[in-house]
Amino acid sequence: MANSRKSRPKSNALLITLLIVVGLILLLLYLKRRDQPVPADLSGFNYYPSLNQGVLVQHQHYSLSYVEEHEQAEWVAYELTKTEALTNTDRTDDFREDPKILTGSASLNDYRRSGYDRGHLAPAGDMGFSQVAMSESFYLSNMSPQDRAFNRGVWKNLEESVRDWAVANGSLYVITGPVFGNDPKKIGENGVSVPTYYYKVLLDYQQPGIKAIGFLLPNEGTSQLPQDFIETIDNIEAYTGLDFFPELPDDLEEELESAVNTRGWY
State the catalytic residues.
120
Residue 84 DSSP SS3: helix
| Element housing 64 (H / E) | strand 63-67
Contact between residue 204 and residue 211 where contact means Cβ atoms under 8 Å apart: yes
Cis status, amide bond into 37, omega within 30 of 0:
no
DSSP letters along 182-241, please? SS--EETTTTEE--SEEEEEEEE--SS--EEEEEEEESS--SS-GGGGEE-HHHHHHHH-
Contact between residue 142 and residue 76 where contact means Cβ atoms under 8 Å apart: yes
- Indicate the DSSP class of residue 127: S
Of 245, 200, 205, give the one whose Cα is nearest residue 226.
Answer: 200
Instruction: Tell me the C-alpha distance between 117 and 108, whole Å.
Output: 11
